[in-house]
Amino acid sequence: MPTLPEPSSPTAPRPDRPSRTRAYGVTALLLLFMLLNFADKAVLGLSAASISAEFGLSASAYGLLNTVFFACFSLAAVLVGFLSNRVRTKWLILAMALAWTAAQLPLLVPAAGYTTLLVTRLVLGAAEGPAYPVANHAVHKWFTARGRNVASGILSAGIPLGVIIAGPVLGGVIDDHGWRWAFGVTGFLTLGFTVLWLAVGREGPYGAVAGDAPREQEESGPDVPTWKVLLTPTWIAGVVGGLASYWAVTVLIAWVPQYLANVLDLGTRTASSAIVFPWAAQGIAMVATGLAAAWLLRRGLSSRIANGLVGGVCVTVAGVAVLLLPHVSSTTGAVTLIAVGFGLGAVILPLAQTMSTELAPVRRRGGVLGAYTAVYSLAGVVQPVLTGRLIDTAGSPADGYRHAFTLTGLLLVAGGVVFMALVRPERDRARLLGAGPPADDRATVPVQSTTAP
């Protein structure tokens, strides 16, 4: 059975192995980075009712704020993703965090209106688009292949934690001090992170940027052009599943808080607390699937099973839950289905990031991860405007949300099925390296030393 090249020959020098303390310390900082990233995203959804009332916005006009954000988000993700192949991730992360701060604080000025809000969302989208792929690229430099599923799962937990922590806090700030101070709080917190990252942030040993002195990489073998990686069935399946998953994520960010506050009549403060449930479920699901995938790989099962089957099943179940949501009358039942549907719906994203790392040589990894984020985040460009239109043209807001949730559920089911059917990372990696497909898709990714973090 053909196998992939070993990480290095017995005589080749190995990169210095980082201590677990240092590796997980940097991971914790990047977790905080992602936590702030999603707190910054969520503040608009939590403030939507107050902003719409102050500026007299329709659902479509509010949706445009989100579309502008995600359009710049997608473009910047791919551009900065390729830049991260040449620039140290420490400086990219610092620049992004400073830009987040600059995009939030101007809204504290009372004269700042809808145009200012639109421009700052544009800037914030451009600065936040590369955050997830660059953070993954940064954290993967601290771990061998064996530890990356867990590291990506921890990093991805910052996505729901940002809203779990920020939701109730910012909801209280909005009720007590107005929506502008919610933006101010997130801006000042992000400024604090930049100081901490400048002092403590470091590059890991597993992967160098262009221009560095040569450093032995954990993966050996021939270089592979980026475009070949992007044409593999595994990467394409990750994109299809990612588009569906991110569609659900953007619905959760932009519209579910309003659904809870206005359609279920919970009010802003209670809705800001209730929104914790789907984000908490998402955090648990991301970490659990990362741990499950790592355990299955250690047991000798293929990445096709550990990542593809596990992720696809979760997202398909999520789609069924979202399809049922409009047909449940009780508030408890609706919040439960929201937690299951929007909680499980995002697990494909970190799994697909890990599989992209499996396929791409270290020197191509930043570009591949950036391209992946750029494509799946296009869902955020289309979804807000389309959902706003569905709500504005429906007979009632409840009918509009019913149409939006039905569409989201169908996309999740389709994305989960495609992900399960096409993901074959071992086969695709073998073909990229010219070894031919492995006979049984099993255990072709090299197993690293258990002393690595």
What residue ranges define each of the domains in the chain, with the CATH number in brackets? 22-208+224-432 (1.20.1250.20)
pLDDT at residue 74, rounded to an integer:
76
Compute the distance between CA of residue 71 and CA of residue 48 in angstroms, rounded to an integer.
Answer: 19
Compute the distance between CA of residue 226 and CA of residue 204 in angstroms, rounded to an integer.
Answer: 22
Model pTM? 0.72
Decide if 112 contacts 106 (C-beta within 8 A).
yes
pLDDT at residue 16, rounded to an integer:
52
Task: State residue 440 phi and psi, 5-degree precision.
Answer: -130, 15
pLDDT at residue 404, rounded to an integer:
95
- How large is the greatest C-alpha to C-alpha distance in the chain, in angstroms? 72
Q: Counting Cβ atoms within 10 Å, is residue 263 exposed (0-12), middle (13-18) or buried (19+)?
A: middle
Compute the distance between CA of residue 49 and CA of residue 67 in angstroms, rounded to an integer.
Answer: 18
Helix axes 397-422, 348-359, angle to 10 degrees: 30
CA distances from 285 to 146, 160, 247, 342 (A): 20, 10, 17, 10
Compute the distance between CA of residue 248 and CA of residue 342 in angstroms, rounded to an integer.
Answer: 6
Compute the distance between CA of residue 285 and CA of residue 2 in angstroms, rounded to an integer.
Answer: 34
Q: Counting Cβ atoms within 10 Å, is residue 52 exposed (0-12), middle (13-18) or buried (19+)?
A: middle
Q: For every one of its 453 residues, what pLDDT tens digit does the chain have, with 9 covering 90 and above?
A: 444 443 444 444 444 555 677 888 888 899 899 888 888 888 888 888 889 889 888 888 888 888 888 888 878 877 786 787 788 888 999 999 999 999 999 999 988 888 999 999 999 988 888 888 788 888 888 877 667 767 777 777 777 777 788 878 888 888 888 999 999 999 999 999 999 999 887 887 776 544 444 444 444 456 777 788 888 888 899 999 999 999 999 999 889 988 998 888 888 788 888 888 998 888 788 778 878 887 887 888 877 887 788 888 999 999 999 999 999 989 999 999 999 999 888 888 878 877 777 787 777 777 787 788 788 888 988 999 999 999 999 989 899 999 999 999 999 999 999 999 888 888 888 888 775 555 445 444 433 332 233
Q: Report the Cα 229 to chain-centroid distance in Å.
A: 20
Decide if 337 contacts 344 (C-beta within 8 A).
no
Compute the distance between CA of residue 186 and CA of residue 425 in angstroms, rounded to an integer.
Answer: 39
Compute the distance between CA of residue 190 and CA of residue 35 in angstroms, rounded to an integer.
Answer: 10
pLDDT at residue 75, rounded to an integer:
80
Compute the distance between CA of residue 143 and CA of residue 149 in angstroms, rounded to an integer.
Answer: 10
List the structure tokens of 146: 């064996």
pLDDT at residue 308, rounded to an integer:
81
Compute the distance between CA of residue 429 and CA of residue 137 in angstroms, rounded to an integer.
Answer: 19
Task: State residue 41 phi and psi, 5-degree precision.
Answer: -65, -45
Compute the distance between CA of residue 226 and CA of residue 88 in angstroms, rounded to an integer.
Answer: 19
pLDDT at residue 102, rounded to an integer:
92
Compute the distance between CA of residue 380 and CA of residue 362 in angstroms, rounded to an integer.
Answer: 28
